[in-house]
Amino acid sequence: MNAAVSTQEDQKKAVVAAAQGAMTLNLAFIGVSGGFFEALASSGASVAELAKRAGADEGYTRRWCEAAFAFGLLDQAEGVYSLTDLGAAFRPSAPDSFMPFAVQSVLGAHMAERTATLLRTGERPGEKVLGERPSILPWFGPMLEANFGTFFERQILPVLQVFRALDERGGVAVDLGCGNGWYLRKLAARYPHVRGVGLDGFDENIRLATEAAARAGLSSRLSFRAGDIHDFTIGEPVSLIAMNRALHHVWDRKGEVFAKLRDALVPGGSAVIWEPRWPDDLATLRDPKRRPLAYQNLGEHVQGNHFLRPAEIEAAMREAGLSPETFLFAEGGEAVIVGTR
Ligand SMILES: C[S@@+](CC[C@H](N)C(=O)[O-])C[C@H]1O[C@@H](n2cnc3c(N)ncnc32)[C@H](O)[C@@H]1O
């Protein structure tokens, strides 16, 4: 066998494995979104019983079970389906759940399809593309929380002085583009004197954030409301304004946004901006840890956005009269820029 043939065969094997990986993740997304994994958590079930537990149609449930069995997400014996270890790991409630990979896979496919459709005209429909798939939107917040919540709690929260100072003041923190509100929940759980207000453009996120704060017993200190980042008013002095993966959504009006942040902050208060770090050197995107960022940036383009370099954020802060300091995490892949008034 000559080297070229062997290379092509190896490449084909890799492509087949990737295709089957995508199928596994698509099936896992149905299991997550349809509630099948959680419905099988305590005991196995027949198709009819599983359909009943998950509130799903029996015909669809049967086809999903067969496919999930084929891909090793389920076992089957005498018509009773049960979770394999792999299937159990996709339960949204599992520790270190694999759920985000399933959600990202289907969201990524949606964005790829939108990119392929729009690339001739250049149309960029904006934030609404996230809401185009009703099964994906409710999982967007939980996906981000699973990806970044523990990381925030362990790596960022204990390190940045700005959070401790907020607690000592008993100040108000505002989270702009708060998603399902996980950031304020983590902040308030660690620091007992912090109060928080979260704002997001999607009503669904506000509903999820309000419910989750109530479940965590934090409703007396945290509130959430629907609204546009460009129009927010808080009605009391604000000590900290956080934006997590939200600044790149409003970057086209950065001058206005930073002026608004500065004006809302008390003297000595801080804007705490967390963004994935778009690299200066494109070659670093080949690193398997960085690749997903490059893929995600296509979906961002559809939404009218693009990822940012910390230096650009620092410059915009300085222009608004805030003093920036950048903290890098995750081997330089994540940047938190603290701009103090
Ligand atoms: C990538 S998500 C991040 C969510 C959350 N901060 C997190 O880290 O999980 C960006 C969020 O910003 C919100 N958003 C984007 N533009 C907005 C605007 N102009 N006004 C209000 N919310 C906005 C979106 O609805 C979305 O929830």
pLDDT in the model for residue 235: 84
Q: pLDDT of the chain along its 341 residues, tens only?
A: 455 567 999 999 999 999 999 999 999 999 999 999 999 999 999 999 999 999 999 999 999 999 999 999 999 999 999 999 999 999 999 999 999 999 999 999 999 999 999 999 999 999 889 889 999 989 999 999 999 999 999 999 999 999 999 999 888 999 999 999 999 999 999 999 999 999 999 998 999 999 999 999 999 999 999 999 999 888 888 999 999 999 999 999 999 999 999 999 999 999 999 999 999 999 999 999 999 999 999 999 999 999 999 999 999 999 999 999 999 999 999 999 999 99
What pLDDT is stored for residue 168 in this prediction?
A: 93
Ligand 1 pocket mutation pick from 139, 178, 260, 300 by most atoms within 8 angstroms of CB: 178
User: What is the distance between the alpha carbons of residues 168 and 125, in angstroms, rounded to a whole number?
Assistant: 43
Q: Which tokens sit at 48?
A: 């009819």
Three-point CA angle 185, 188, 194, nearest 5°? 140
Identify the residue whose tokens are 């965590």: 216
Strand ranges across the sheet with 334-340? 222-226, 195-200, 172-176, 238-244, 265-276, 334-340, 323-329
Substitution site in 145, 232, 245 for ligand 1 pocket (most atoms within 8 Å of beta carbon): 245
Task: Please state, in angstroms and rounded to a whole number, the distance separating the CA atoms of residues 233 and 260.
Answer: 9
Tokens, residue 316: 């915009």
- Which residue has the least CA distance to atom 25 on ligand 1? 201
